[in-house]
Amino acid sequence: MDFMARALELADRALGRVSPNPAVGAVLVRDGLIVGEGFTQPPGQAHAEIVALTAAGPRARGAEMYVTLEPCCHVGRTPPCTEAIIAAGVSAVHIAVPDPYPQVNGQGINALQRAGIAVTVGAHRGEAERLNAAFFHFVRTGRPLVTAKWAMSADGKVATRLRDSRWVTSPAARRAVHRERDASDAIIVGIGTVLADDPALTVRLEEGDAQRAPRPCPPLRVVLDSQARMPPTARMLQDGEGPVLVYVTAHAPADRVRALAEAGAEVIPTRSVEGRPDPGAVLADLARRGAIRVLLEAGPTLMGAFLDHQLIDRVMAFIAPRLVGGASALSPVGGEGIAHMRAALPLVDVSVCQIGPDVLMEGRLSWEPAAGGSSPEE
């Protein structure tokens, strides 16, 4: 059995439940058998290593631990995991990837080695880095990782010339989107999407979908709405399915702001750029709330604003094998965009898979100018 692969499966169960902490899985193995395992609990509760050690009890002595991220060695909301591992008599620790957090960053490994515990690093490193990409990004930049998701036809249209967009892709593709929502801390749309589609922005998993741990709170539903035009009767304000944050500018009419607040929205005035809520300020506020993994499901205008501000980090593009046509039909990303093709922004670490009749292309957006090219500002 691949014990690190099992630890990664456990870590996935914590996605969307433990931010701003990383989602970690740990497995304890003795004589070739799993004697304890666990994953990170919500902030302030036990880390994956402690859950696994508790499950193993005295069987942890002499066992080997497989853990997806370097154990912490500092006092935060909980005591250091390294001390618990040492005290339990674990003989070896296999780590998928070091923790870049400055108060750990190799120091956890050193603490274990000083205690005489054998440490190996690197098994399934790529998978571990992808699983906690949002945490690594947050440690590096201080802002959430933003995944831009859209569904388009084979000719690049997200809606027809009449703005009809239901549905571009198949139920199988939409099911995959809900799985991504389930891993996210917040889902962002613009007021145009709300007025056109009245979305719920809830997580709707189906029987047979891999289940993560219960959520302490649903993903934040976020609307950027400069003039507070969101109707108080909007579905997400009526369904009682979790928090709704509406970011407005200082020019939003007071009566509309009051009506949204009375309908249950948390209305948040924020600085504006060209008359619209500043995406960077919105992300900074979400980070203060502990959201580090954000799903952007916006229309072309807001998608373009995030791109123009260099605030898209990852792309999930669902492509349906059908044609729409129409010069006025919408494409996924508006905004100012790139002036010259040689400066187009590349996706890296690209993967492509088929979901039902549709194709999902995923990749990380590289903001480095292409070799021999010029900057995006050209």
The residues carrying an active-site annotation are 49
Number of H-type helices and E-type strands within the chain: 12, 16
Nearest to 230 by CA among 201, 273, 207: 201
Structure tokens at 246: 């509406």
| CA pair distance 298, 314, nearest whole angstrom | 14
DSSP state of 60: G
Is 229:248 a contact under the CB 8 Å cutoff?
no
Q: b/e for 252-261, b at 16 or more Cβ within 10 A?
A: beeebbebbe
Q: Before 279, cis peptide (omega within 30)?
A: no
Cα–Cα distance list, 76 to 46, 61, 104 (Å): 11, 26, 11
Which residues, listed in sequence order, are joined to residue 189 by a DSSP beta bridge? Answer: 223
The string of DSSP codes covering 208-225 is TSPP-PPPSSPPEEEEE-
**Is the Cα torsion angle 317, 321, 322, 326 positive or negative in sign?**
positive
Nearest to 149 by CA among 355, 287, 327, 341: 355
φ, ψ of residue 238 in degrees (nearest 5): -110, -15
